Structure 1
Amino acid sequence: MNKAFDITVFGATGLTGKNIVKHIYELSLNKPEFYKAANAPDNSGASFRWAIAGRNKHGLEQVIEEMEQLFPNASVSRPSILIVNVTQREQLNDMTRQTKVLINAVGPFRFMGEYVVRACVENGCHYVDVTGEPEFVERMQRTYQDKAKANKVTIVHSCGFDSNAKLIQTSIWLFSCTQVPTDIGVLYTKSLYTKHGWKPNQIEMFLKIHTGPAGLRGGFATFESAVHGFGSAKLLKEIRKASVMKPLPHPDGQKLVFHKGVHYDKEFGYHVPFFFADPSIVRLSQQIFYNNLAFTDSHKSQNAVPPPVQFAAYLLLPSLWAVILFTVFGYIFSFLASRPWGRNLLLKNPEFFSYGIFSRNHPTKNQLEQTSFEIILRSKGYDHSLTPKYNVPPNRSFKVVVRGPELGYVATPRIVLQCALTILYNQKSENTIPNGVLTPATAFWQTDLIDRLRQVGITYDISI
């Protein structure tokens, strides 16, 4: 079916969506070759056809005018405008019938995301989003996996950073998740072992946020997703109980100790558990691989399926004072977010309950420029076969460090756009991306996504 648009950005007037549109323009100046179609005669990007979508025509027109003023020499063409309300099924159907790959930035996803996923599955439109809501991701995987595969549609959740975790850094709150850097980082770490013929056993993730004098600020939609995400933990457990996928096998070798509270690591310092999306996404990726759902019908992998490992995720805190703040504010947030009246109170007073970091005001340019992230993946494994259930200490190790700019509004547009472009051009050539409802690792494990991310400032390095 011939479709009008290569990519459509849905929710283009929101903070995240607008930054995705901005990055599309910006990338066309810095790296126009990313928009080269398979049959294009040059790298101009002129053959790249795209659209932006949302409820408000005037707001969409303002976004385009602002971007054309910021990037007058952009090589991409002016995007078309699609008027789409997420609650109007026919409008969603019309958008997805015209689009090859949809970038969905309309949240909270647990309330509005399924409408969009269903329209994409039914109308043959590939899909990526920036959700960090595990309950939504796993519910979509259970509900639409078979139909998406039958309709040859690829749905990839969590292609960026989003909210659902509670962090404190330099005595302030930051809600963030790191799904693509972590999920792809775990995949990359496993590949280092398999290249040597070794077996990975465990991976610990440590997230570090670097901030500047301007501090941090997050959008209200992020705070809202975090509040509702905490309240849906019980539902996630019920979804997993109903899963028909085979559970992961019990790992051989040494058991990874998970530190449930505040802990001091000799190498990295104070850390606390990182409970939300990253561990859930990594777990789901391993389960999808284990159930052989990460293959295409026409392409047989030349690579071994990544083996399952034990995984734990932590947030690094810079000082004992940050640990105290985390404990106090974490208890207050947890108590309120688990009760309907408490969630209402949190949503009415985001600045007060987030130590001033979340409000309806957008982050400033200085705040975005001064913030960056670092993810350390510390792994252990074996260079020999193991006797099942024998608790022998690992004798091999790797450390992978993932680095990038500000998480939510700088890194996310770069990551989600590269995921969308990878799907777009892979379908025309290699066809190594499977159909179904997938995670980043299971969708992109046989692609050049890591190389693409490195070119836009998201680096993966081996640390000794």
Structure 2
Amino acid sequence: MTKSNDIVVYGATGYTGRLVVDHLARFGERHRWAIAGRDERKLQDLASAVKAAHGYEPPIFVASAEDRSSLAKMCERSGVVVACAGPFVRMGEPVVEACIDAGSDYVDITGEPAFVERIITRHHDRAEQAGVLVVPCCGFDSIPADLGVWFVMNALGKNGHATAETFVHTNWDVSGGTWQTMMEMAGHGDPLHPPSFPTPIGASSRTSVGKARPHFEPDVAGWVVPMPTIDPAVVLRSAAMLGTYGADFTYSFYARFGSLPKAALRGAALGAIFGLARVGPARRILSRVKPSGAGANEEQRRTGFFRVTTVARASGEKVVGRVSGGDKYVETGAMAGEAASLLALERATLPRKGGVLTPAVAFGGALVRRLEDRGIRFEIVRRTKEER
């Protein structure tokens, strides 16, 4: 069947889905894109709003993870699916399966380790054989860290043993969708335990997680605390698959705060939330704090920011690089939208043709260039020699 749409945004009426739609409406003039989700009335309202603001009315697919035939119809008619409907551990896998069956590429905005590990284990080989690119974590989780490390390691250009540390500084508010995902993650294991993914077959680099500890970090002028997010697992999978970060690569990931009390307070609050959320009745109560679809207002989006700094060392040389941008949710819309646009317009130029891949492995510098064109900055801050 002919794919009448280059891109479809699945989960388009959610908070982050709307931000992806807004990005495509402003910058997706070179391709035809559609919207999809469970609620036809909400989709119609969104399509009308897009037409009123931008003069383009996106086609609509009513589709849900519970209705496999609706997903099949959506994927059969779309070249790239941008999945924005979570929690992904419950609702994501049927979309991946439908994409592989239909020969449609896939990107998403997940930050859920259990989901990504599952689709790597169950679907990497099938996607590779089908020539379908499945690229999770194409939002704030984990493009700034993954492409930021790729950018810095390319600048470092050393073999042998290399280390890298990433420090994230942002406003730490979360959307309703992120909050619901946090609750879901707490119900599927220990979210405070750093995740890991299966080692790729034929990996040419040894990779490991560094022994991270809270400390004052001069390179970001603040206190940093280890963060058990999905980012280290994504970065280490990139290192193993690419084999260009050094034969032996160690990585650590931190959140940056302005003072030690702030760092301690945030860490304690996160531990308390996740600890409570592992208990069913408490999790149900906490889930009501931020319902799905809730998010920042216009002023909060306008003043939001992120700075993701990576410090890499090898062979007596140190390189500090930074990825920076505006509100992390707005920029997630740009990241996912540009990843999908890259697949729609420039897929033939990409080095890998199929499999469950990381953003760095699937896209590398091609996505860096597109994101820079949209105002997300990638820069080398400084390069110094260190005593050995």
Fold-level similarity (TM above 0.5)? yes
Deviation, 1:138, is 1.4
d(CA) in 1 for partners of 2:325, 2:191: 33
Find the partner of 2:343 among 418, 423, 433.
Answer: 423
8 A contact 1:289–1:306 mirrored in 2? no
Matched residue of 2:349: which SS?
coil
Q: CA deviation at 1:125?
A: 0.7
Match of 2:32 among 26, 29, 49: 49
CA contact (8 A) 1:426 1:433 kept: no
Task: State the AA in 1 paired with 2:169.
Answer: K
Quick check: 1:26 aligned with 2:9? no
Aligned amino acid, residue 203 of structure 1: A
Matches within 5 A, 1:45-444: 48-72=31-55, 77-161=56-140, 178-194=141-157, 199=160, 201-209=162-170, 217-233=173-189, 245=201, 250=206, 258-260=211-213, 262-267=214-219, 268-289=221-242, 309-350=249-290, 361-382=294-315, 395-408=316-329, 410-427=330-347, 429-444=348-363
1:183 counterpart SS class: helix
For 1:411 and 1:79, locate their aligned partners in 2 and report how far apart those are by CA, in whole Å.
21
Shift of 1:346: 1.8
Aligned CA distance change for structure 1 residues 63 and 200 (closer, same or farther; 3 Å): farther
For the residues of structure 2 that align with 1:5 and 1:360, how far apart are their CA atoms? 26
Contact residue 335 and residue 342 of structure 1 kept, 8 A:
no
Which structure has the bigger radius of gyration? 1
**1:294 corresponding residue in structure 2:** none
In the alignment, is the contact (CA less than 8 A) between 2:239 and 2:245 conserved in 1? no
Contact 1:121 1:153 in 2 (8 A): yes
Distance 1:368 1:307, change over 3 A: farther
Instruction: Please state how far the C-alpha of 1:49 moved relative to its aligned partner.
Output: 1.9
Question: Contact 2:112–2:185 (CA<8 Å) still a contact in 1?
Answer: yes
The CA RMSD over aligned residues, in Å, is 2.7
Letter in 2 for 1:258: K
Counterpart residue identity of residue 156, structure 2? Y
C-alpha distance in structure 1 between counterparts of 2:321 and 2:297, whole Å: 31
Per the TM alignment, residue 208 of structure 1 is displaced from its structure 2 partner at its CA by 0.8
Q: Note closer, same or farther for the CA distance 1:203–1:243 as it changes in structure 2 (3 Å cut).
A: closer
SS of 1:448 mapped into structure 2: helix
C-alpha separation in 2, matches of 1:308 and 1:421: 34
Structure 1 CA distance, aligned partners of 2:271 and 2:334?
34
> Deviation per CA, 1:109-157, whole angstroms, max 9, x where unpaired?
0000001000111111110000001111111011001111111111000
2:190 and 2:259 map into 1 onto residues whose CA distance is 32
Counterpart in the other structure of 1:385: none
TM-score, normalised by the number of residues in structure 2: 0.89
Secondary structure of residue in 2 paired with 1:432: coil
CA offsets, 1:238-280, max 9 Å, x none? x9697774678657xxx986333x3222442211111111111
Instruction: Call closer, same or farther: CA 1:461–1:243 in 2, change over 3 Å.
Output: closer
Checking the alignment, whether the CA contact within 8 Å between 1:202 and 1:256 is kept in structure 2 is: no
What is the CA–CA distance in structure 2 between the aligned matches of 1:99 and 1:432, rounded to whole Å?
22
Retained in 2: the 8 A contact 1:6–1:101? yes
Partners of 2:377 and 2:153 in 1: CA distance: 17
The unaligned stretches of length 5 or more in structure 2 are: 383-388
Whether the 8 Å contact between 1:7 and 1:102 is mirrored in structure 2 is yes
- Please give the alpha-carbon distance, in whole angstroms, between the structure 2 residues aligned to 1:191 and 1:53: 38
Q: How far did 1:70 drift? A: 2.7
Q: How far off is 1:96 after superposition?
A: 0.6
Tell me, what secondary structure is at the counterpart of 1:155? strand
> C-alpha distance in 2, partners of 1:150/1:199?
33
Q: Secondary structure at the match of 1:92?
A: helix
Letter in 2 for 1:436: G
Is residue 165–residue 311 contact of structure 2 (8 Å, CA) maintained in 1? Answer: yes
Question: Can you list the C-alpha shifts for 1:323-359, whole angstroms capped at 9, x where unaligned?
Answer: 2422431331132123333322321334xxxxxxx88
* 1:285 aligned partner, one-letter code: S
- Work out the CA distance in 2 between the residues paired with 1:288 and 1:244: 6
Q: Which runs of 5+ in 1 are unaligned?
A: 36-47, 162-177, 291-303, 351-357, 383-394
Q: Is the 2:212–2:253 contact (alpha carbons within 8 Å) kept by the matching residues of 1?
A: no
TM-score by length of 1: 0.76
- Secondary structure of 1:66's match? helix
Instruction: Kindly state the Cα deviation for residue 234 of structure 1 after the two structures are TM-superposed.
Output: 5.5
Deviation of the 1:431 alpha carbon: 4.6
Structure 2 letter corresponding to 1:412:
T
Separation of aligned partners in 2, 1:198 and 1:245: 21
Q: Which secondary structure state, in structure 2, belongs to the residue aligned with residue 158 of structure 1?
A: coil
* Distance change (3 Å), C-alpha of 1:340 and 1:308: farther
Letter in 2 for 1:338: R
